[in-house]
Amino acid sequence: MKICCIGAGYVGGPTMAMIAHKCSGHTVTVVDINQARIDAWNSDKLPVFEPGLDEIVAGARGKNLFFSTDVDTAIREADMIFLSVNTPTKTYGVGAGRAADLRYIEKCARKIAEVAENDKIVVEKSTLPVRTAESVKRILESNSNGRKFQILSNPEFLAEGTAMADLEAPDRVLIGGDQTPEGKAAIQALVDVYATWVPRERVLTTNLWSSELSKLTANAFLAQRISSINAISALCEATEANVDEVAHAIGTDSRIGPKFLKSSVGFGGSCFQKDILNLVYLCEHFGLPEVAAYWNSVIEMNDYQKHRFSRRVISTMFNTVSDKKIAVLGFAFKKDTNDTRESAAIYICKDLLEEQANIAIYDPKVEVAQIQRDLGIDADNKYVSYCDDAYEATKDAHAILVLTEWDEFKALDFKKIYDQMQLPAFLFDGRNLLDLEALREIGFEASGIGKG
Ligand SMILES: NC(=O)C1=CN([C@@H]2O[C@H](COP(=O)(O)OP(=O)(O)OC[C@H]3O[C@@H](n4cnc5c(N)ncnc54)[C@H](O)[C@@H]3O)[C@@H](O)[C@H]2O)C=CC1
Ligand SMILES: O=C(O)[C@H]1O[C@H](OP(=O)(O)OP(=O)(O)OC[C@H]2O[C@@H](n3ccc(=O)[nH]c3=O)[C@H](O)[C@@H]2O)[C@H](O)[C@@H](O)[C@@H]1O
C-alpha cells in the first residue's frame, strides 16, 4: 500500500517512521508545507528530538520512508492518507481561546478533494472535536466526482519523550469508522497495518464519534489526575503532609493506580490544555454548562499551581527577587523532549521577569531562539541569559529553580554548586526530583512541591 501523511510534526514524523520501520511492504511519504521542517527530516539533525527516533529514521529513510514538500503528488499516489496537522486552540472569532482551530484540517480535506484521482481512505490522526469527520466527509463528498472516500479516526496516544516506545508497544490502538460494509473494509485495512506489530486484541475498533471523543476524554482524565494531586500538594504544604507519600499511599490502591500522580509545577505540553479547552467548548455548545465547568476546573487548578510556585519563590526570598540572579534548570515541558509548548517554565519565567529578576536558563535540549520566542523577548534582553550547563547557570545565583525533571540534574555536584552561590542559597524543586534532605545537609534552603 502507498501511505501518505500530511503534517511532519511531533506526531506525523515519529508515527510514520514507526509504520515504515515495521511494514517494509508499504511505502510511506510524509509531506509538509514547511520546507525547513522537511529539510531537517532529510538531514542528520531531525526537527524532533525523541530517544530512538534517529535510528529508526536512518534505517527506513530513502527505502520506504520519504519526506517531501510535494503534497499533491503524495496525495495522488496514496491509497491511505493520514491527516496529522496541527489543531491549535482558536485565537480569533467564535470560540476564540477554547475551540479547536480546524482550518489546517479543512485545507487538507480540500486539497485531497482537489488532487485525488481515485478512491482514498482518509485517516484523522490529529486530535479533533467529536463529529469533525462529518465535516471532512462533507467536503470530500461535495467534490467527489465519482471518487469514494472513507474517513477513519485513529487518534494518537503517544507521549513526547517516550514516543518511540509508545509507538512500538502501545497500550491500545483506536480505530473508528463507519459501520457500513465499505467503512468496515477501510477499518480492516488500517487494522492490518497495525497488526503487523501490535497484538490484535490491542487494536480497538469503534464508531467514528466514540473514537474522536475517546481521545479528548483520555487527555482530560490524565490532566485531571495531575490537577487533583497538585491540589492536594497545596494542602500538604499547609499541613506538613508529604505529597509523594500521599501519592504513593493512594496509588497502591489498584483502583486508583500509581501512574500520573507526580505532583509538579503544573502540566504543560501542546495538548492537555488545548484538548480540555476544546472539550469545555463542546460541552457548552451541546448545552452542558455544568459538565463544561467541571472540566474547566482542571485548567484553573493548573494555572493556580504555576503561579502559586512563583509566589512561593518570591515570598521565600524575602518578598523580592529584583536584581537577584535566579538559575532556571530546565525549560522543556517535560524531560527527554525539546518541546516547550505550554511549558510551566514559560509562565514562571514571565512571573519572575515581571519582578525584575535576572534569570539564567539552562536546558539540555531547548534552543535559545525558542526560549526567546516563548518569553517574547529579544536576543539582547538584559534580564535573561542562556547557559551551556547547570554550573554556569548557578554561578553567583541567589536561587535555583528546577522546572524540568531532566535526569542529568540528579547527578549534579550540588556541593560545588552551593559553594559558588550567594547565601542563603535557595533551591525550589518544581519536580520533586532531588533529595531535599541531602541538599539541606549541604546548606541549601531547599523546598519541593507539596512538602511542608
Ligand atoms: N505532540 C504530541 O505529542 C501529540 C499531538 N497530537 C495531535 O496531533 C496533531 C499534530 O500535532 P503535532 O505533530 O504536535 O503538531 P506540529 O505542529 O508539530 O506539526 C503539524 C505539522 O503540520 C503541518 N501542516 C499544517 N497544515 C498543513 C497543510 N495544509 N499541508 C501540509 N502540512 C501542513 C505544519 O507545517 C506542521 O509541520 C494535533 O492535532 C495534536 O493535538 C496527538 C497526540 C500526541
Ligand atoms: O495528546 C497528546 O499530545 C498526548 O498528551 C500527553 O502526552 P505529553 O503531553 O507528550 O506528555 P505527558 O507525559 O502526558 O506529560 C504532560 C505534562 O504533564 C506533566 N506531568 C505528567 C505526569 C505526572 O504525573 N505529573 C505531571 O506533572 C508533565 O511533566 C508534562 O508537563 C498524553 O500523555 C499522551 O497520551 C497524549 O497522546
Summarize pLDDT for 83-123 with one digit per residue, the tens: 999 999 999 999 999 999 999 999 999 999 999 999 999 99
What residue owns the CA closest to ligand 1's atom 26? 104
The sign of the CA dihedral 318, 322, 323, 325 is positive
Q: Is the CB of 160 under 6 A from ligand 2?
A: yes
Of 53, 79, 75, which Cα lies nearest the Cα of 150? 79
Over residues 189-211, the mean pLDDT reads 97
Q: How far apart are CA 261 and CA 227, in angstroms?
A: 9
Tell me, in angstroms, the distance from the centre of ligand 1 to residue 123's CA.
14
> How many residues in the chain?
452
pLDDT tens by residue, 268-302: 999 999 999 999 999 999 999 999 999 999 999 99
Mean pLDDT, the chain, whole residue set: 97
Closest atom, ligand 1, to C-alpha of 104: 26
List of domains in the chain? 2-206 (3.40.50.720), 240-452 (3.40.50.720)
Per-residue pLDDT tens digits for 118-127: 999 999 999 9
CA 49-55-59 angle, 5° bins: 135
Helices (H) and strands (E) in the chain, counts: 17, 14
Pocket of ligand 2 contains residue 264 by CB under 6 Å: yes
* Residue 82 Cα to ligand 2 middle (Å): 23
- Taking CA 412 as the corner, what is the angle to CA 408 and CA 418, rounded to the nearest 5 degrees? 145
Whole-model pTM: value is 0.96
Look up 271 and say whether it is catalytic. yes
ipTM score assigned to the predicted complex: 0.98
Specify whether the CB–CB gap between 426 and 400 falls below 8 A.
Answer: yes
Distance in angstroms (rounded) separating the CA atoms of residues 268 and 49? 17
Q: What is the pLDDT of residue 452?
A: 73
306 within 8 A of 271, measured Cβ to Cβ: no
- Identify the burial level of 418 via C-beta atoms within 10 angstroms of its C-beta, where 0-12 means exposed, 13-18 middle and 19 or more buried: middle
- Give the C-alpha separation, 417 to 96, whole Å: 46
Q: What is the pLDDT of residues 52-64, one digit of tens each?
A: 999 999 999 999 9
> For residue 106, which ligand has an atom nearest its CA?
1
Where would I find the H helices in 150-242?
Answer: 163-168, 181-194, 208-239
Span from the CA of 343 to the centroid of ligand 2 (angstroms): 11
CA atoms within a 13 Å half-sphere pointing along the CA-CB vector of 381: 21
Ligand minimally distant from the alpha carbon of residue 86: 1
Pick the ligand that lies closest to the CA of residue 85: 1
pLDDT on residue 144: 79
pLDDT of residue 146: 87
Distance 54 CA to ligand 2 centre (A): 22
SS3 category, 15: helix
**Rounded distance between C-alpha atoms, residue 137 and residue 109, angstroms:** 8
